[in-house]
Structure 1
Amino acid sequence: MKDKNDQVPYDTKRMTRRRCLIAAWVSLLLLVLLFIIILILALTVFKPKPPRIQLLSVTVDGVAPRVSLPLVQVQLNLTLDLELLVDNQNHASFKRGQGNSLLLYKSNQVGEADILPGLTPAMRSSQLACRLRLEVDELASNLTSLISDVLGGELVMETQTSIPGRISFLGIFRKHMVAKSDCQLTIAIPDMTIRKQTCKHKTWL
């Protein structure tokens, strides 16, 4: 008795194999095209853009500092309320981790505040509030400079804000970033207002 496979014409077998081979090549070609399209989108439309931190406003809260004589003492109660803007120009959300903001005087840290994590939607911005309280004890090493600035009617301080985060496209392409903003603030005394504000923004990828 002959095997059933022997009853199938040779041309039919060859046609079947050819169709399978064509189907395999077409599937492979479609996968390659899909990969190329995703790669092009990732490098153009979905290319990660660094989010930016912008200092919208600063409000000074507290009593104007006073210098007591004959014993040289400085009474200082100062809090800075910062209004920050996180601008995300990506076609994907920016998932923010916990950030922080530092208050510095003469390059020495004199205050610190945490910034809660959150999410800035795609092509949107988020406003964040940060309250920096001056730690008077940390000013002991710069007491002479502080007295000079108070008597001169002007106090120059710096803020350094850092917010880490991640942008993810299609769950495949992930990019970790750290948005930073460094500002120099000139506080008028005894008005306790911001006389001058200079900021620099940058992002670490």
Structure 2
Amino acid sequence: MIPPTGGAMGPTTAAVKPPSSLRLRCALISCGIVTILAAAALLAVALTVFRVREPVMTMNSISLDDPPPSPELRTTTLAVVADVSVRNPNAASLVYDATETSVYYRSRRVGEARGPPGTAPARRTVRMNVTVGVAAGELIGDPAFLGDVAAGAVAVATATRVRGRVAVLGGMVRRRVVLEMNCTASISVADMAIRDQSCQQRVWLR
């Protein structure tokens, strides 16, 4: 005798449905995985595109503004011009305060000037000139200075400092930046030209 297969003659086999709690658990796990992947992607972007990088300062030149035609230095005020560029490699603007430039002779500061504050746009380079007045007459009493003049060249040093800040991710990440450019050069007494310029840059991210 063949057993009944269903219909009116016997019970039917119904599809087994998973419990609702199991479906909820699967949905929560899926949401968790998506959230983790999204967080990982955002972290990767934050560590690459929005990572705060060190700006780069370049001393394009040190020059004398309208140097006098005579090599006589006793009554001369020298206008030393520092032509500086700052490149901002970040995805956000670099906002900097007033720049500071000092001129030194044999480790003694003989002139100082401040440039205006400003902004270096994202991935752009800004150029700034700072003019420092140096009264050469103040150096006449230094025997070393008179010796340098007699030798035909006066060695000077300049220090330019730029303080600023970069804010990325809508201000969630803020870093303060300090750029410093230290240079040495020689002023030729014969033609008042700048020679043998050498510079070094230092950067601090805080």
TM-score, normalising length: structure 2: 0.78
Larger Rg: 2
1:6-155 matches, within 5 Å, as: 15=20, 26-61=30-65, 62-63=67-68, 64-66=70-72, 74-136=74-136, 139=139, 143-155=142-154
Which segments of 5 or more consecutive residues in structure 2 lack a partner in the other structure? 1-18
| Higher strand content, 1 or 2 | 1
| Higher helix content, 1 or 2 | 1
Which segments of 5 or more consecutive residues in structure 1 lack a partner in the other structure? 1-13, 68-73
**Aligned residue identity for 1:152:** A
**Aligned residue identity for 1:189:** V
| C-alpha distance 196-170 of structure 1, shift in aligned 2 (>3 A) | same
1:175: which partner in 2? 175
Q: Whole-Å Cα distance in 2 between the matches of residues 139 and 29 of structure 1?
A: 72
Cα deviations across residues 176-199 of structure 1 (Å, max 9, x unaligned)? 111111110111112011121101
| C-alpha distance 114-28 of structure 1, shift in aligned 2 (>3 A) | farther
Q: Is the 8 A contact 2:50 2:168 kept in 1?
A: yes
Q: Is the 8 A contact 2:57 2:86 kept in 1?
A: yes
* Local SS of the residue matching 2:190: coil
Q: Whole-Å Cα distance in 2 between the matches of residues 49 and 128 of structure 1?
A: 21
1:6: which partner in 2? none
* Local SS of the residue matching 1:134: strand
Identity %: 29
Aligned residues: 185
**Aligned residue identity for 1:194:** I
Q: Whole-Å Cα distance in 2 between the matches of residues 36 and 174 of structure 1?
A: 21
Q: Whole-Å Cα distance in 2 between the matches of residues 138 and 47 of structure 1?
A: 48
How far did residue 92 of structure 1 move?
2.0
How far did residue 20 of structure 1 move?
6.1
| C-alpha distance 94-23 of structure 1, shift in aligned 2 (>3 A) | farther
**Aligned residue identity for 2:148:** D
| C-alpha distance 18-87 of structure 1, shift in aligned 2 (>3 A) | same
| C-alpha distance 34-95 of structure 1, shift in aligned 2 (>3 A) | farther
Alignment root-mean-square deviation, CA: 2.5
Q: Is the 8 A contact 2:167 2:173 kept in 1?
A: yes
**Aligned residue identity for 1:106:** R
| C-alpha distance 158-30 of structure 1, shift in aligned 2 (>3 A) | same
Q: Whole-Å Cα distance in 2 between the matches of residues 48 and 26 of structure 1?
A: 34
Q: Is the 8 A contact 1:88 1:94 kept in 2?
A: yes
